[in-house]
Amino acid sequence: MITSSALLLLGLGFSAAVILSVASRLLYIEEDPRIRDVEMALPGANCGGCGLPGCAAAAKAIVEGKAPADVCIAGGMDTNRMVAEVMGLKVEYKEPQIAMVRCIGGKRADQLYIYEGAQDCRAQARLYEGSKQCTLGCLGLGSCVKRYALLKPFTWDRTIYR
Ligand code: SF4
């Protein structure tokens, strides 16, 4: 009984191995080896800064010509150069782009409504994303200062609430 069970399992295992082996050969999709090389050149941070869902997707897009060789924001010029080398392209030096939020919130931002609730930014943010016209800037209630008391030189008057 034990021998027949063992033989049955062995037969099943062998059949499965044969089926998987044939399927892997039939269903194999050849991938451009440059995709792997470009992916190796990318930082692997998968931060999405390039607008793609990760470095693997960025590498695929670069090789397929859907994204430029310098699409990686996080990697900088060195990464761009390595990617361009794999692709046989040349990249020009570009000034780094730095995001600048012009709306700083606080007293300078225009009011959307007058908030008289709990003096806490999180509470205010729950009401139409805060009382300021710009939803990106500081709400000015100092919750971050209260929370991060360690940031002593980062005083309310000087930096947050202008
Ligand atoms: S920006 Fe660079 S590091 Fe971030 S996901 Fe895109 S390719 Fe990867």
Domain positions in the chain: 33-87, 100-162
- Ligand 1 mean position, distance from CA 51 (Å): 8
* Range 78-81, long-range pairs (CB < 8 A, 24+ positions): 79/41, 79/42, 79/43
Q: Which CATH architecture has domain 33-87?
A: Orthogonal Bundle (1.10)
- Residue 28: exposed, middle, or buried by beta-carbon count in 10 A (0-12, 13-18, 19+)? exposed
Which residues of the chain carry a pLDDT beneath 70?
A: 149-162
Q: Note the pLDDT of residue 159.
A: 47
Q: Note the pLDDT of residue 109.
A: 83
- Ligand 1 mean position, distance from CA 121 (Å): 32
What is the position in ligand 1's atom list of the atom closest to the CA of 75? 2
Q: Note the pLDDT of residue 151.
A: 56
The pTM (predicted TM-score) of the whole model is: 0.53
